[in-house]
């Protein structure tokens, strides 16, 4: 059973339906409930390599359902320090728990100032309503 729609207040959001949780010098990235719901059950996660760099606004990987494929857009720039192996092995984890066990990668934040330009939960909700 898929969880109900939610957008936690402690996250920062990118308009391409990606989120970031800043934890000190690092950040955890994932996709929002909206994105996971639109794609349907995920069957594949193509992660970046640990040690590679991601750039805000650019694709760092892909997720796939049987009917769609979606670029993962980095909400922040930085260096990949960890890939969530649980999602590689069981991509549906993202549908079950988009903000918890369904995180995708952890980065060392390259440009701490970038977070300020992201949306907060209220602004992201507003964006969804306007679409």
Partner 1 sequence: MTHPFLALTDSDRDEMLGTIGVATVDELFRDLPEGIRLGRELDLEPALSEQEVFAHVAELAERNADASRELCFLGAGMYDHYVPAVVDAVLQRGELLTAYTPYQPEMSQGVLQAIFEYQTAVCELTGMDVSNASGYDGTSVAADACYVAKHATGRDRIVVTEATNPQVRQVVKTYATGFGLEVVEVAHRGGTTDPGELERAAADAAAVIFQQPNFFGCLEPAPELVAAAAEAGALPVAHVDLLSLGVLEAPGRYGAALALGEGQSAGNFPSFGGPNYGFLAARQEFIRRMPGRIVGETVDTAGERGYVLTLQTREQHIRREKATSNITTNQTLLALGGLVYLTWLGPQGLRELGETCLSLAAYAKQRLAERAGVEPVFATQTTFKEFAVRVGRNAREVVAAARERGVHPGYALGRDYEGMDDVLLVAVTERRTPEEIDRLADVLAEVAG
Partner 2 sequence: MKLIYEKSQSGRRASALPRHESLTPPPELPEELRRSEPPRLPEVPEFELVRHFTELSTRNFGVDTGFYPLGSCTMKYNPRINERLAALPGFARLHPLQEEEGAQGALELMWRLQEILAEVTGLHAVSLQPAAGSQGELTGLLLVRAYFAARGEAEQRRKVVIPDTAHGTNPASVTMAGYELTPVRTDARGNIDVDDLRGKVDEHTAALMLTNPSTLGLFDENIEEIERIFHGAGALMYYDGANLNAVCGISRPGDMGFDIVHINLHKTFSQPHGGGGPGGGPVAVRDILEPFLPVPAVVRREEGGFGLDYGRPQTIGKVRGFTGPFGVFVRSYAFFRMWGPRLREMSEAAVLNANYVLARLKEAYDLPFDRLCMHEFVVSARSLKKQHGCTALDVAKRLMDYGFHPPTIYFPLIVPEALMIEPTETEAKETLDAFCDAMLAIAREAADEPELLQEAPHRRPVKRLDEVRAAKHPVVTYGFGEHPQPDVEPAPASTQAPTGV
Q: Which residues bind partner 2 (CB under 8 A)?
A: 40-41, 43-44, 64-68, 91
Q: Least distance to partner 1 from the beta carbon of 69, Å?
A: 4
What is the DSSP annotation of 53-109?
A: EE-TTSEEEEEE-SS-EEEEEPSS-EEEEEE-HHHHH-TTHHHH-TTTTT--EEEEE
Q: Would you say 4 or 116 has its CB closer to partner 2? A: 4
Q: Least distance to partner 1 from the beta carbon of 121, Å?
A: 30
Closest CA to 114 of 72, 49, 57: 57
**What, of partner 2, partner 1, none, does residue 69 touch, CB below 5 to 8 Å by kind?**
partner 1
Q: Would you say 43 or 123 has its CB closer to partner 2? A: 43
Q: Would you say 2 or 122 has its CB closer to partner 2? A: 2
Record the tokens describing residue 108, joined without a space: 């060392």
């Amino acid at each position: 059973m898929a969880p109900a729609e939610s957008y936690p207040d402690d996250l920062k959001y990118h308009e391409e339906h990606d989120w970031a949780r800043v934890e000190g010098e690092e950040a955890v990235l994932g996709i929002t409930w909206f994105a996971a719901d639109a794609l349907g059950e995920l069957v594949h996660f193509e992660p970046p390599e640990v040690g590679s760099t991601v750039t805000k606004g650019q694709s760092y990987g892909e997720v796939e359902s049987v009917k769609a494929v979606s670029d993962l857009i980095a909400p922040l720039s930085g260096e990949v320090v960890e890939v969530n192996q649980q999602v590689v092995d069981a991509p549906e984890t993202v549908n079950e728990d988009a903000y918890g066990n369904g995180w995708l990668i952890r980065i060392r934040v390259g440009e701490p100032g970038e977070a300020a330009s992201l949306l907060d939960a209220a602004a992201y909700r507003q964006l969804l309503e306007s679409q």
